Structure 1
């Protein structure tokens, strides 16, 4: 803010920001964690702990088949929960006997083999879900903890946690409940207004107050009014007395009719004016009387002209004054806002108003999210299909349950994302110590809504995209869609081989796909035969990827649905079709996701509700009006007296001068007259001289005091040009205020922001040619897992994806910023505008990478905690039984890197060929550097691709040995450059009015009016003072002393 804010406003704004941060942070983290978990389940990713899917190698009629069998948990004696249908299976966790090779015990989790049940702990399909549903009760109980330690191979002793009465969490609180609060017990904040004030360092403060006039002003007004009032009363009283005397002295005469009097009135007036002599003396001769008549007429003419001009000026001048209305209604405020938009100021009784009190937002989702296609009955209908073991993974019946489960998850997640984000958004506080205009209020709220919608959408899409690219780069294993096992009969080793869809390999692209259909196994040719193809509905390496590329057109078509139903059920189902009148059947799921499954938004902004919550105590506005009647009367009276005495003296001086000139003018006489000015022989002369001197001194002092006193002046400039504004800013920077005619301006209309990405993102090493070159020249499945080349394809795919993702995130964020609006009622100077934009850019530079890094961190930790397996077999490897049976179960064993076990940490790495190898390609890449890319031998000894030019690294902010993770922490951005066109900003603002205040001397006309006004009163008062003190002095000196000799 360009102005210092009060302590209460700072407290409210900071507290609002803190509360918003707490809500947003916890909400974002929890929703991201839930979404990542659901995407893992939707993609049927395989945990090395084999808690959700158990890989089977089946021998069927001398053929072999890889299968993924879903775990079934024994909830009770007659109740089971299968991970294929329910991803939230939960059973008590404990210590079991060794299960041996029992197929039944593994798949059905036989609880009869449990040796100890861990109090509060749960087991289920995925380790992350299991721990979130668990409590920590056992770890508050030393007995339970000791019993658990008996089953572990350790000599260490551990102490149970103490139950604190100050904790916000109970021992029975689930881990999810604790995580929902970010595991924070208490937030402690300290807001230092002193530090804020010191950082603000205000240059000056201006304030207005209502008070009585000072003593000088009061005395000046009294003197001014006294002179005019004395003259007016003198004229009125003299005429009244003369009239009374005339009525008494006149003898009764004949009655004169009114008509005759009216006819005689003009003649009487002419005679009176012709005989009027204001300068008559008893000793005047005919020549002097002639000059006196001329002087009288000149006096009256000058008096009337000056009085008319000065009175007109006083009547025409206006003053600015403040008026206050207490507890105004909304109607009063709106009227005042229209009339006084620039000066109206209304202080709120409540400065922090929640959005939910005046705002309603409702999204309207794609109707598939409320259709049968995402209902549990529809999903279970396909998940419970009986012929699973002899159905191809291309068969719609085998995949439909999972596909529609993913679609339901996307609908649910979109709604949860919007609802939770909306809940946080509506809990935001609109902080303002002053109520703002309805136009500005709606502009600010609409801008906030648009920014919130854009941020919510981008956050959802970026997280979805990041999950997809990390899944592909890590080559995570799903239920035999993106790979299959090759059993080497000689070495009896299981070799994972990437699956191919047509000519597309899942090792190179997650987007490989083929249409789904209805298949039947032909025992003659030992292959599947397609009976019916589902139009534009696909399967591929990952179920999520293939679903996003699919359309739902079959489910708008009654005939298509009937064909599917004929191959899945002998009975008629009651599932409804999608409605073609509401959405296009040919729209892909990806395009629906790109708008967060939302077809339309509806928002309602209530200014009345905001005004009611603000409840302004008072409204103050400045009004320009003519002076009040008291001021006008006193000023005119003062002018009247001043002009009467002033012009009279001036005319008398001129008359006497003319008389002397005519009668006896000579140089000797002029000298004598000048000397007589300082010789006073008579009392009247002394009075006149003293009166004149006192009057001149008083007027001179008043004039000097008035001219030297500085007064606050406010000037206004209508529709100033940029040159005029810059001139005013240079001279009146502290007080200049200019109101914009357009309060909402798009940033992109005057602002340009560009970014420069790390050079690796424009090199050949993120191109498809390079990745294909690596993929085609290296056989990763016959290399040691600690060799970098094993995961090179995945790492380079991740690097290319991160470059592309960084650009996309930056472009989305910059587009969001530049298409948003800069809202301000006042025109800002270039320096203030630059600081505001720099502040926004700094916030942008911190917020965007942090959002990306938080999402990436959730994905990394969730991948590691669930111990997801990859086709490179670098985190865990499969082991199998020596003798194959009908269904042979694969077991897993975690791998180690330099004494770091992937079963304990997913971030284990070790150096290999200038890069890193580790549990996951992602973790290895992040801990690598780009040093190898500057070395030709290291990066490509065959010289097919050229290493990076090391000289170009000198312009980089990153060192050559910087880890890729540290570079990614900056979104791989080298620097930003901004260009602000102040001319364009000024033209879009288009200021209507600029006002500025300054301290200056009174102008000559104003001082002249003041002197003239006070002159009449001073003449009378000064003469009274002189006469009083002179008489006092003379009486004291003329007292007669007592005669001597008297007894």
Structure 2
């Protein structure tokens, strides 16, 4: 019942609400009727206007722009983080900072280090090892004997390591001497990705150049038919004539082939044999290298028509094995090296049986690390001005401020227009004037009576409420 009574009270309050009350209201019922109608129209139009304006303002997007002078790195990171957050929304946003220095040397903010295969820093590419492999009698050994081929092949291996190291150093130095063109300040993530991509390109381009050089050296040796000093691809044989003259002519060597066949170095360069130690001599071969029982094998190492080609197809398997290395060292008693000088398999990600060609095609690189310093880059860039522009929906405070700003204007306009419009509408010349005046008079008297009763009811209720409170006290 209290709820229903409350609703009735609100209804009657709205029915009797008069925002245009004047002195004539007490004596002129028609004027009261006009004022009540004007009040109701005013309330409806005001509500509609406020709702429409509130919705329009709340749904409207506004663009804001913030300029930051000489931002620190922390300030830049904070605004950029906010920019990324806003970028995920449906509203447009931009954040740009102009570098005061556009050309920034890579050397100031990036450092590249690398590590080569352990063989390139081992004793096996040192002058002491290579010199001790040399023997004045090496030409008397069987050409596929390691004592004959080992010195030349390890010289080539040392040269490959040296050239790879020089190529990497030169490429890195050239790269670090170049400049990063950065008219706009890069974010830390973009800076890192771009710098590391450029550093990685240095690696891949240097490897590609080195591979082309390897192929050039190999093809030059094969196409030109260069004769090795150890006469592994061809030999100069002497032929005597009855008149006592002699003539030397080249004779292509013959190697053991697959399935008991023969391999001719004059036709192909892919004639290989396991490097080993033999109890035979060069003059016994006559250019034909037959399979013989070896005294000891050098696992993974090959000899062939050309030392360089055979080296590329060899592996360093034996030099990761202390037993294999110790067996080799028994044939070089003057070498001050032990089986403990083997290559450490834990220092490489390559398998021991990886061919030297695959190592060389990767420039013997074990590790390639890039260290970028965004703080150093930002200090060189030194942005003088950053502009942060973003679009967003109006906040509640913005909507409220807008409503308060136009409320006064809407109120004045409605208060000026509505009473005249209602008065004009009620006094329009339609129908019987006497009947219209009588109807309006009775409606006005009825409204006045209702409002008087409602006022009396409110006053009586308030009086009883105060009396009940006094009684309770």
In the other structure, the counterpart of 2:249 is 495
8 A Cα contact 2:132 2:335, kept in partner: no
| SS of match in other structure, 1:392 | coil
Distance change in 2, residues 1:284/1:489 (3 Å): farther
1:837-848 to 2 correspondence within 5 Å?
none
Tell me the distance in 1 between the aligned counterparts of 2:23 and 2:45. 19
Deviation at 1:370? 0.6
8 A Cα contact 2:46 2:410, kept in partner: no
In the other structure, the counterpart of 1:649 is 417
Distance change in 2, residues 1:369/1:654 (3 Å): same
Deviation at 1:656? 1.4
Write the deviation string for residues 844-881 of structure 1: whole angstroms up to 9, x where unpaired: xxxxxxxxxxxxxxxxxxxxxxxxxxxxxxxxxxxxxx
1:304-315 to 2 correspondence within 5 Å?
304-311=47-54, 313-314=56-57
8 A Cα contact 1:330 1:608, kept in partner: yes
Deviation at 1:638? 4.1
Tell me the distance in 1 between the aligned counterparts of 2:302 and 2:420. 115
The match for 1:661 among 420, 429, 453 is 429
In the other structure, the counterpart of 1:555 is 319
Distance change in 2, residues 1:579/1:271 (3 Å): closer
In the other structure, the counterpart of 1:292 is 35
1:463-502 to 2 correspondence within 5 Å?
463-479=213-229, 480-490=231-241, 492-502=246-256
Larger Rg: 2
Tell me the distance in 2 between the aligned counterparts of 1:538 and 1:282. 122
Write the deviation string for residues 273-322 of structure 1: whole angstroms up to 9, x where unpaired: 65653577699953344223322332244234423542564366442110
Matched, 1:509 2:268: yes
Deviation at 1:470? 2.9
Deviation at 1:406? 0.5
Write the deviation string for residues 70-105 of structure 1: whole angstroms up to 9, x where unpaired: xxxxxxxxxxxxxxxxxxxxxxxxxxxxxxxxxxxx
Tell me the distance in 2 between the aligned counterparts of 1:395 and 1:437. 61
TM-score, normalised relative to structure 1: 0.35
| SS of match in other structure, 2:107 | helix
Tell me the distance in 2 between the aligned counterparts of 1:636 and 1:424. 66
Tell me the distance in 1 between the aligned counterparts of 2:282 and 2:187. 79
TM-score, normalised relative to structure 2: 0.73
In the other structure, the counterpart of 1:618 is 385
8 A Cα contact 1:288 1:659, kept in partner: no
The match for 1:344 among 79, 95, 99 is 95
* Relative contact order higher in (CA < 8 Å, ≥ 6 apart): 2
| SS of match in other structure, 2:114 | strand
8 A Cα contact 2:58 2:396, kept in partner: no
In the other structure, the counterpart of 1:458 is 208
| SS of match in other structure, 1:660 | coil
Matched, 1:585 2:349: no
In the other structure, the counterpart of 1:1027 is none
Distance change in 2, residues 1:275/1:588 (3 Å): closer
Deviation at 1:540? 1.5
Tell me the distance in 2 between the aligned counterparts of 1:499 and 1:331. 73
Write the deviation string for residues 141-177 of structure 1: whole angstroms up to 9, x where unpaired: xxxxxxxxxxxxxxxxxxxxxxxxxxxxxxxxxxxxx
Tell me the distance in 1 between the aligned counterparts of 2:297 and 2:429. 129
8 A Cα contact 1:374 1:405, kept in partner: yes
The match for 1:379 among 110, 116, 130 is 130
Deviation at 1:589? 1.5
In the other structure, the counterpart of 2:277 is 518
Distance change in 2, residues 1:650/1:291 (3 Å): closer
8 A Cα contact 2:277 2:296, kept in partner: yes
Matched, 1:405 2:155: yes
8 A Cα contact 1:314 1:632, kept in partner: no
Distance change in 2, residues 1:281/1:373 (3 Å): same
Tell me the distance in 1 between the aligned counterparts of 2:174 and 2:120. 23
In the alignment, structure 1 segments of 5+ residues that lack a partner are 1-265, 666-1047
Report the aligned-residue RMSD: 3.6
Tell me the distance in 2 between the aligned counterparts of 1:537 and 1:408. 15
Tell me the distance in 2 between the aligned counterparts of 1:593 and 1:271. 95
The match for 2:76 among 330, 333, 342 is 333
Tell me the distance in 2 between the aligned counterparts of 1:394 and 1:276. 119
Write the deviation string for residues 744-778 of structure 1: whole angstroms up to 9, x where unpaired: xxxxxxxxxxxxxxxxxxxxxxxxxxxxxxxxxxx
Tell me the distance in 1 between the aligned counterparts of 2:335 and 2:399. 99
Write the deviation string for residues 911-969 of structure 1: whole angstroms up to 9, x where unpaired: xxxxxxxxxxxxxxxxxxxxxxxxxxxxxxxxxxxxxxxxxxxxxxxxxxxxxxxxxxx
Write the deviation string for residues 663-683 of structure 1: whole angstroms up to 9, x where unpaired: 888xxxxxxxxxxxxxxxxxx
Distance change in 2, residues 1:641/1:535 (3 Å): closer
In the alignment, structure 2 segments of 5+ residues that lack a partner are 1-8, 85-92, 257-261, 434-473
In the other structure, the counterpart of 2:170 is 420
8 A Cα contact 1:364 1:600, kept in partner: yes
| SS of match in other structure, 2:186 | coil
Tell me the distance in 2 between the aligned counterparts of 1:512 and 1:402. 18
In the other structure, the counterpart of 1:362 is 113
Matched, 1:394 2:144: yes
Tell me the distance in 2 between the aligned counterparts of 1:580 and 1:396. 23
Tell me the distance in 1 between the aligned counterparts of 2:14 and 2:278. 131
1:89-488 to 2 correspondence within 5 Å?
274=17, 276-278=19-21, 285-311=28-54, 313-314=56-57, 317-341=60-84, 342-383=93-134, 385-479=135-229, 480-488=231-239
In the other structure, the counterpart of 1:726 is none
Write the deviation string for residues 588-616 of structure 1: whole angstroms up to 9, x where unpaired: 21222232111222222232322222222
Deviation at 1:432? 1.8
Distance change in 2, residues 1:298/1:367 (3 Å): same
In the other structure, the counterpart of 1:761 is none
Deviation at 1:629? 7.8
